[in-house]
Amino acid sequence: MIKRYHRPATPYQRLLDDARTPEDTHLRLKAMYLTLDPVRLLRNIRLAQERLVEIADKPGGSPTTDGEALPPEDFLSGLQILLGVAVK
């Protein structure tokens, strides 16, 4: 008996290689793939980790000490860091 394995591939590569994947999906995946930036992703992860440390170091361990909701500007800036996109 000879075991045969598929070559290693990412989910992205598997979708592109699958004949059942529609052409419009191919185009959208390729466009999305071109926008990926591992260095930017790592930077955003580190910024988010720093923000989590800041939150954890505050008294009470929460971003606000009086139980009030975050101001919209603070919420959006945190969201921008996590998503790595400009939020208006």
Q: What are 37-83's pLDDT values in tens digits?
A: 999 999 999 999 999 988 888 876 555 555 667 787 777 777 777 77
Retrieve residue 48's tokens.
């988010």
Q: Is residue 14 classed exposed, middle or buried when 0-12, 13-18 and 19+ CB atoms within 10 A define those classes?
A: exposed
pLDDT given for residue 22 in this prediction:
96
pLDDT given for residue 62 in this prediction:
54
Return the biggest CA–CA distance within the chain: 68
